[in-house]
Amino acid sequence: MFASRDGGFTWKQVLDFRYVQAVTISPADPRTVYVGTTDHPYHDDSPVEGVLKSTDGGVTWRRVNAGLSHRNVNSLKHQST
């Protein structure tokens, strides 16, 4: 996954995972990003990660899969609290 911080003139890889299916960005803090991952169609090429969260604009990521019974995530929606 790649991100641009200059309106798309340049791009930087922020997540080394090929199968990102969904992305949502917090409207309150654009540095908080969630991604939903999915599995490679042949399953042996790439493990599924579930939902990943970054609070620093994609510099670091952590899994946030509590309560997920299935880790193929096809869509995400950010809900304001």
**Domain locations along the chain:** 17-81
Residue scoring higher pLDDT (45 or 16): 16
pLDDT of residue 8: 92
pLDDT at 53: 93
34, 51, 55 from 61: Cα distances, Å:
9, 10, 8
Q: Is pLDDT above 70 for 5?
A: yes
pLDDT at residue 44, rounded to an integer: 62
pLDDT at 60: 93
Exposure pattern of 49-66 as b/e (b: 16+ CB <10 Å)?
Answer: bbbbebeeebeebeeeee
Tens digits of residue pLDDT in 27-78:
899 899 999 888 766 666 666 778 899 999 999 999 888 677 667 777 787 7
